[in-house]
A and B are shown apart, each in its own frame.
Chain A
Amino acid sequence: MAPDSPPERNLPPQSVAGAPFWDATRDQRLVLPWCPACAAPHWYPRGFCPTCLSEDLEWRPSDGVGTVAAASVQPKPTERALGGRVPYAVALVDLDDGVRMLLQVVADDPWAVAVGDRVTVGWDPLPDGRHLPTAVAEG
């Protein structure tokens, strides 16, 4: 690696239950685990429905639109690859589908990210071809 090349993102582990999610991120598609019996999605993937404990799940596409429920600006990075981004905001995002995700926010001014802001899911490439979902601020 050249000395001035930026460090790569750490690879998140991939669970068996989460594999369909991660596979879809290779095409930058957001899919959520759904329980047809409960007619509801859940997050995070765990291999069964946390409401009725059924293992008969489907993966359905999400529009990836949501609202910030809480936000915090990080002045220091948690890994070397994020060093060039600080300060950045991390938010809990309530997707319109009805699930809450922790996501890094893409915003011109991270300090301006506020509860109630509308965001759209975007994608951050990982070294192995998967992508991490992000929350792209409007405006």
Chain B
Amino acid sequence: MAPHPLRGAAAVVGVADAAAPSGMLDGSVPQLEARMIREALDDAGLTLADVDGVSVNNGLGWAPSLELAERLGITPRWTDSTQTGGSSFEIHVQHAAAAIALGLAEVVVVVYASTPRSDFKAGTGGWGSRQAVGQNPQAEWERPHGLRMPMGAYALAASAHMHAYGTTSEQLAAIAVQTREWAAMNPRARLQERITVEDVLASPVEASPLHKLDCCLVTDGAGALVLTSAERARSLAKPPAFVLGAGTAHTHAMISQMPDLTETGGVVSGREAFRTAGLAPSDVDVVELYDSFTITVLLALEDLGFCAKGEGGAFVAEGPLGPGGALPTNTNGGGLAYTHPGQYGMFLLVEAVRQLRGEGGDRQVPGAEVALAHGSGGVLSALSTVILGTEATL
């Protein structure tokens, strides 16, 4: 069978991200976006003059990519403002790779910046997911009933998974424990102290069965990616991370409309990404999974095929996710311990690229050739999977 036309047509050639142990960053969202784009272009050996496509999703204005390009003073011939929450950037990469494959753009920047922690401290509100955003079905049919969001929605999914498969709080806690082992090796991580399963269970209940240490951080954070064609990628400064496959699926917006609380659209997005890449879960060397909550990771492991449906609890309890484990996962410390500015998907991609380049430092997974980044947006609503590989995988 001929390879999929998307496979290897484009590559990520520049990355940047910003996070700090304080959880706060200096600068406004537009300044941070510009800083990340500058650093990611420097990383690639390109300049703003090379950029002819932009992809951005922020809560600032009415048309994010128009406003970004105006601020940058450029005239893109390709544009994308797709907003699916935390998985937006995996979708941006999928769209950008397809556009580059068709010649609609040659150099695309994808950027994200958000400062919820600084905003809360300044009393100017947080990011969109915490605010009432006008009149919408959720305001009418869910919010009045007193479910804390977003953790309550994920708690309902955890409740259903526990009932269906006997998954335990200890097993969910094991995910947080293994993620923290990676964070302990990341000097930029917000939380760097190792924790135990007992620590997770002793932390306050936020929405049962989820404890505080099952939940992601609220920090400032920013990042950017630069993508270009495979041909041009080979002439640039760093080893390309080729886009081997990508897939997307969304199943609902409100948690009460989720078709099956124990299975996400990751079943579809993962299948599409692996099919495009011509690879299987056993080919993946390093895994970056959206970890808004520990249950998010457990569902992703099952839905992507790293273990069978219902066996995620027993799987993670064996300790495969941490340093030296069989399935190194969330090697930067994840949204649970590194940074989580509301839409974490950007940081999955940046870390995946760094691992493929061998730039992981203490956290480097030896010989990483294939990396998977799996975003989840909304309340397990929109899933998007990107598989990246080194030159050796083509």
Spell out A's residues near B (CB within 8 Å).
9-10, 12-15, 18, 43-44, 46, 69-79, 82, 85, 88, 90-92, 100-104, 111, 114-116, 132
Q: Are A115 and B256 in contact (CB under 8 A)?
A: no
Question: Across the interface, do B144 and A72 meet the contact criterion of CB distance under 8 Å?
Answer: no
Knowing A73-B208, A102-B141, the reply to whether A78 touches B147 (Cβ < 8 A) is: yes
Given the interface pairs A44-B140, A71-B156, A73-B207, the reply to whether A116 lies near B163 with Cβ below 8 Å is yes
Q: B146's contact among A43, A69, A77, A111, by CB below 8 Å, is which?
A: A77
CB atoms of A104 and B157 under 8 A apart: no
Whether A69 touches B205, Cβ cut-off 8 Å, given contacts A46-B137, A74-B147, is no
Closest CB in chain A relative to B364 CB, distance in Å: 39
Which residues of B (147-162) have their CB < 8 Å from a CB of A? 147-149, 152, 155-157, 159-160
Complex Cα gap A102–B261 (Å): 13
Contacts of B282 in A (CB 8 A): none
Tell yes or no: B139 within 8 A of A by CB. yes
B350 CB to closest chain A CB (Å) equals 33
Chain B residues whose C-beta falls within 8 Å of the C-beta of A90 in the assembled complex:
145-147, 152, 156
Is the beta-carbon distance between B207 and A79 smaller than 8 angstroms? no
Contact A76 B137 (CB under 8 A): no
| Known contacts A74-B147, A102-B145; 6 further A-B pairs (Cβ under 8 A) | A15-B140, A74-B146, A77-B146, A92-B261, A102-B255, A103-B145
Task: Output the residue of B149, B159, B205, B207 with the most chain A CB within 10 A.
Answer: B159
Q: With A72-B207, A115-B159 in contact, do A44 and B148 touch (Cβ < 8 Å)? A: no
Interface status of B234 (Cβ within 8 A of chain A): no
Residue B204 at the chain A interface, CB threshold 8 Å: yes
A74 touching B152 in the complex, CB below 8 Å, given contacts A103-B145, A104-B145: yes
Q: Is B131 an interface residue (CB 8 A)?
A: no
Q: Contacts A13-B140, A15-B140 known; A92 to B256 CB distance under 8 Å?
A: yes
Among the listed A46, A85, A132, which residue makes an inter-chain contact with B144, where contact means beta carbons less than 8 Å apart? A132
Q: Is the CB of B261 within 8 A of A13?
A: no
Q: How many A-B residue pairs have CB under 8 A?
A: 101
Question: How far is it, in angstroms, between the C-alpha of A115 and the C-alpha of B156 when the chains are bound?
Answer: 10
Q: Which residue, of B163, B210, B254, has the highest number of chain A Cβ atoms within 10 A?
A: B163
Contact with A along B240-262 (1 / 0, CB 8 A): 00000000000000111100010
Which chain A positions have C-beta within 8 A of B254?
Answer: 44, 102
Contact A14 B140 (CB under 8 A): yes
Chain B, residue nearest A10 (CB): B144
Distance in Å from the Cβ of A56 to the closest Cβ of chain B? 21
Which of A12, A91, A116 is close to B143, meaning CB atoms less than 8 Å apart?
Answer: A12
B147 touches A72 (CB 8 A): yes
Q: Across the two chains, which residue of chain A brings its CB closest to B204?
A: A75
> What are the 5 A-B residue pairs with the smallest beta carbon separation, nearest first?
A72-B155, A115-B163, A70-B156, A73-B208, A12-B144
Known: A103-B145, A116-B163. A75 touches B206 (CB 8 A): yes
Question: Is the beta-carbon distance between A69 and B160 smaller than 8 angstroms?
Answer: yes
Give CA–CA (A74, B153) in the complex, Å: 11
The residue of chain B having its C-beta at the shortest distance from the C-beta of A135 within the complex is B145
Give the residues in chain B near A74, CB-CB below 8 Å: 146-148, 152, 207
Most buried by B among A71, A90, A104: A90
Q: Given B137, B148, B205, B256, which contacts A100 in the complex, CB threshold below 8 Å? A: B256
Chain A residues near B149 (CB-CB < 8 A) = 78
B135 within 8 A of A: yes
Chain A residue at minimum C-beta to C-beta distance from B161: A70
User: Complex Cα distance A82/B207, Å?
Assistant: 15
Among B139, B144, B148, the most chain A Cβ lie within 10 Å of the Cβ of B144
CB nearest neighbor in B for A14:
B140
- Which of A9, A44, A72, A73 lies in contact with B137, CB distance below 8 A? A44
* A34 CA to B156 CA, complexed, in Å: 27
With a cutoff of 8 Å between Cβ atoms, the chain A residues found around residue B208 in the complex are: 72-73, 75, 111
